[in-house]
Structure 1
Amino acid sequence: MKTDTFNQVEIIENVDDGIYYLEHGWPSDLIRWHAHAPYELHLIVSTHGKVFIGDHIGRYKPGQLILVGPHVPHNWVTNKDEPGPVALRDMVVVFSHKSMDHMLQGFNEIQELMSMFELSHSGVEFVDFDLSLAMDLFGKIRDTSGMDRFLAFMQLLAELKSWPHKRTLSTAKIISPLTTSAANKINEVVQYIADHYQENLSLGKMSAMLNMSESAFSRHFAKSTGNKFVEFVNRVRIGRACIQLAETNDQISAICFDVGFNNITNFNRHFVKLKGKTPGEYRRIIQTNLGKDQSIVKPTIAMP
């Protein structure tokens, strides 16, 4: 069996072209809240727990299949009472916008996948997709290379495109156009934000990381993520606050400062703007729903 394995950093930084496969069990160092420029198709094979996609929080179980778009923070956290360790929890296929852009430019037939890629900017779940079929399709990508891997990948995309039951997950949509190379330049900053959202993240500090002027950095960042720098940081912080509101009984004021906001009024204003409800209202809804083994986001999208 031929398997491509690489660590978290390689997924984020080194996927410029091609189709990559990885798998891991639980526990694993790869299980953490993170974001990256490539697209990620993520299949859960075993265990139960919570899934976090942008500002979405829900339950996961074996068979859950989600396409995560560029720069959308995500993680799957296994229940602490789950028997373990588990040899195989996740099967993952990673591919870049650059690869997709080349295909979209070269083949008109690929254009019909665009609607699915658009949904991925909020995270899109393929509801009740058959687990055995998914494992078979992912396994073909794992066990092949070259043209055979490409054909197996296209077969997987075709199955997903035709799947009638799709639902978007995060209300905080992050847009990253396929045709720009700016995403690769900004990716280091996106990952830094995901890892250091609690800190003072100034435009000057981030632009200096890339040796760019603030104005050039702002243009590239907005083009790559679809958000102004400050808006993106606030989205990441609110997404993290949603996790803490669901997972803990910490006071809302404590969560506000823990995720990087410097005052409760500012935190509440941004929370209501993104979620349409106060942090307290959100906590009551999400904890009630998760207690019933449900997800707070339920819309299903039927696509032709």
Structure 2
Amino acid sequence: MDAFAERSLCSATGLHGASPGCLMPEAEVDLEPARAITLGCGPSDEDGLIRCHSHGFPSPLARWHCHEEYELHLIAATSGEAFVGDWIGTFDPGHLVLCGPQLPHHWRSLDAPPEGVPQRDLIIHFSQEPIFEAAGKIPEFVEAVQLLKRAQYGIEFFGMAASAEKHWKGIERARGLKRFSVFCELLSDLARCTDYRLLSGVQASGGNDIKAINNLAARIAIDPSGDMNTAEAASELGMDAGRFGRLFRRSTGYGFVDYLNRVRIKKACLLLMQTERQVVSICYEVGFNNLSNFNRKFLEIKGITPKEYRKRSQRRLELGSSPSV
């Protein structure tokens, strides 16, 4: 798998979330179907209430997603844009947020070096049921329940980064009762922190909307030739155009029309490499309605013309290497 293919795992639709001003290499479109919405939880072979892990950037876990677990998320490196429910803001190292179940979230680095960073996110996942159940019998858990109820909106904590990192390292090393003990210390510190703010204006049960966006993006990736505009796509999903546009951009990193064009160019690149068909034939097959628009978009996205792309791909294949599509 080449570097692009690895980066393309960064979102369920196969698009990296970097904005045009990002120093990361330009992302492209992966033609694979959408992946599970819960991918952002990360793999785990751990048993018990608490899961502790970290990842770098880019990563298949750095994407717009939601899940059933609570997530405490500490940014250790890079700066960029943060999305929590309907809140959009910025982040820097030390950004600490607690997200409740089914609250969509995503951190998009805008200043990561081309080679990426090995450890950007320190994360703790845990389930709510055991804590809420325990609060019915153990009064000491009541303050934790109050904290977790607030987290349904997403909580950003200030001045807690160093303490949270210390606790994260302690939880990562420990097992059994010791791990639970350190976790309780962390919950206590968060519950007693008074310097915080709630982020999302609404409690987000955004799973269905995100799944609908991902399914639409996956369908387009499989067959981008259909004639659909933003208003029609929004209507199909039962959303107004503004909400659809915001969710689609958060999920894929691109506006709907830009995404559609990039998928079409991606497919055109494959056809240029794998077939001898004329450029005009490929143009219409991937969904463009005139050759001049196709050539213009191809040049804009790939930096070269379709004919030059075919020539370069043939030369690279003769040399035993495959060009990036």
Match of 1:75 among 84, 88, 106: 106
Q: Does 1:151 align with 2:167?
A: no
Q: Does residue 56 of the first structure (1) align with residue 56 of the second (2)?
A: no
**Aligned partner of 2:132 among 79, 98, 101:** 101
TM-score calculated relative to the size of structure 2: 0.53
1:36–1:71 Cα contact (<8 Å) kept: yes
TM-score (norm 1): 0.57
1:194 to 196, 199, 210: 210
Q: Is the 8 A contact 1:64 1:128 kept in 2?
A: no
Could you tell me how far apart the structure 1 residues matched to 2:101 and 2:244 are? 16
Aligned residues: 201
The answer to whether the Cα contact below 8 Å between 1:57 and 1:243 also exists between their aligned partners in 2 is no
The answer for unaligned runs of 5 or more in structure 1 is: 1-6, 176-189, 201-232, 258-304
- Structural mapping, 1:110-189, within 5 Å: 110-129=141-160, 131-174=161-204
Identity of aligned residues (%): 28
Task: Give the Cα separation in 1 of the matches to 2:245 and 2:154.
Answer: 16
1:35 maps to 66
User: What is the Cα deviation at residue 134 of structure 1?
Assistant: 1.7
Separation in 2, partners of 1:67, 1:239? 26
Structure 2's unaligned 5+ residue stretches are: 1-35, 217-237, 261-325
> What RMSD over aligned residues (CA atoms) do the two structures have, in Å?
3.7
Partner secondary structure for residue 147 of structure 1 = helix
- 1:56–1:239 Cα contact (<8 Å) kept: no
Q: Deviations over 1:24-65 (max 9, x none)?
A: 011111111001011000011111111100111110111111
Q: Secondary structure at the match of 1:75?
A: strand
Q: Deviations over 1:88-113 (max 9, x none)?
A: 11111100122222322231111122
Give yes or no for contact 1:39–1:97 (8 Å, CA) kept in 2: yes
Q: Structure 2 CA distance, aligned partners of 1:50 and 1:147?
A: 37
C-alpha distance in 2 between matches for 1:234 and 1:127: 35
Structure 2 counterpart of 1:299: none
For 1:196, give the aligned amino acid. A
Quick one: structure 1 residues 104 and 192, their matched pair in 2 at CA, closer, same or farther if it must change by over 3 Å? same
Q: Once structures 1 and 2 are overlaid, which stretch shifts more, 78-87 or 40-49?
A: 78-87
Structure 1 residues 164 and 95: alpha-carbon distance in aligned structure 2, compared to 1, 3 A threshold: same
User: Is contact 2:54-2:121 (8 Å) kept?
Assistant: yes
Contact 2:156–2:197 (CA under 8 A) maintained in structure 1: yes
SS at match of 2:108: strand
| Distance apart, 1:114 and its partner CA | 2.4
Q: What do residues 253-290 of structure 1 show as CA deviations (whole Å, max 9, x unaligned)?
A: x69x9xxxxxxxxxxxxxxxxxxxxxxxxxxxxxxxxx
Give the C-alpha shift of residue 174 in structure 1: 3.3
Structure showing greater radius of gyration is: 2
Judged with a 3 Å threshold, the aligned counterparts in structure 2 of structure 1 residues 81 and 157 are, in CA distance, closer, same or farther, namely: closer
One of 94, 118, 125 as aligned partner of 1:87 = 118
Shift in Å, 1:128: 2.9
Secondary structure of 1:197's counterpart equals helix
Contact 2:40 2:62 in 1 (8 A): no
The answer to which structure, 1 or 2, has the higher relative contact order (CA under 8 A, 6+ apart) is: 1
